[in-house]
Amino acid sequence: MARHRDYVPHGVIPAALLPFHDDLSIDEASFRSHLRDLAAVEGLSAVTINAHSTEVASCTEDEQRRVMEIAGDEIGATMPIVHGIWADGSLEAAQIARRAQAGGASALLVFPPAPFTLGQTAEMALAHFKVVADASDLPLIIFQYPLATGQGYPPATLMRLCDEVPTIRAIKDWTQIVPQHENHVRMLQSRSRPVNVLSTNSAWLFSSLVLGCNGLLSGSGSVIADFQAQLFRAVQRNDLAEARRLNDRIHPLASVFYSDPFVDMHNRMKEALVLLGRLPRAVVRPPLVKIGESEIGRIRDALIKAGLLDTQGKRKAA
């Protein structure tokens, strides 16, 4: 599959989920159906795979390759694919980058190496990204974690990365402190070679987009990509009344998806797709475990409040 050349990460990019059979193997038929559902949504820029939402930490190298093959086969002709790079070492990250480019990906989402939780310097971050950039000429998206995690890059480091690694074209900004998030929008998107800020603050997406993000990259797009695309367009045209209306529909789902424990967010999204009749089962791989019936009930209630299910739990048109 030929990749979409000259793609610059922007706009609305849902991150796909990865369905499993009861024996924990990949449910390829359901994954294909899920990808087709996403690609059919009007107003998307790309779809992300091999990221948090596809439980990449539990997937082998061969499984990640197969996920890319399926995505390329199913939607690659019409939709750019963003491929996650989840690796603790830079050499492994480079290997994934080469494999993703060969497989037809159009951009790479670079997760921070886990060792950075023990401390990092700008030189370490630069070394990591330069190794990845040397392995692929695809546009890079920096996954910017909250600074408190140790894996977020301070503003000076972000600027050096953008100065010295020209294939960096966007950040997926998980900065949860509003002034820092706004500073990224102002600092990065006003550069002579702009670096787009893609919000991943899906628990407060309306507020985040109003700050001026040039897009969003979100796991909850696996369920509500249509709402997110409509919200983004409304904010872009400065129709805040319509944006608030859409946010009122999104809010119940964001509240339940991103409740504690946060690690269960994509687990809950799978359950939402089961309730909507778009997945046959909600199986996750250990250490995640299936959520309980009371929580599934809260997800059902949120879908009803969002207008996606009727009061009998039957699917409604979005």
Q: pLDDT above 90 covers what percent of the chain?
A: 96
Which of these ranges, 120-124, 155-159, 271-275, 310-314, has the smallest mean pLDDT?
310-314
85 found inside a domain: yes
Q: Is residue 29 part of a domain?
A: yes
Domain of 95? 11-239
pTM: 0.96
* pLDDT of res. 2: 56
pLDDT of residue 5: 80
- What is the widest separation between alpha-carbon atoms in the chain? 57
CB of 206 closer than 8 Å to CB of 247: yes
Does the residue 101 lie in any domain? yes
Please report the pLDDT score of residue 20 as a whole number.
Answer: 98
Strand arrangement of the beta sheet that strand 81-85 belongs to: 11-14, 215-218, 196-199, 168-173, 140-144, 107-110, 81-85, 47-49
Residue at 133 is within a domain: yes
Q: What is the mean pLDDT of residues 23-45?
A: 98
Long-range contacts for 213-216 (Cβ within 8 Å, ≥24 apart)?
Answer: 213/173, 213/185, 214/10, 214/11, 214/170, 214/189, 215/9, 215/10, 215/11, 215/12, 215/13, 215/45, 215/170, 216/12, 216/13
Q: Is 235 inside a domain boundary?
A: yes
Percent of the chain scored above 70 by pLDDT? 98
CATH code for the domain in which residue 93 is found: 3.20.20.70
Q: Which token pair is 226?
A: 């249509």
> How high is the pLDDT of residue 4?
84
Question: Does residue 300 fall inside a structural domain?
Answer: no
pLDDT at 274 over 70: yes
Whether residue 119 is contained in a domain is answered as yes
Task: Write down the pLDDT at residue 317.
Answer: 56
Domain count, the chain: 1
Annotate 303-315 with b (16+ C-beta within 10 A) or e (fewer): bbbbebbeeeeee
Give the pLDDT score at 60: 97
In this predicted structure, what is the pLDDT of residue 1? 52
Q: Would residue 168 count as lying in a domain?
A: yes
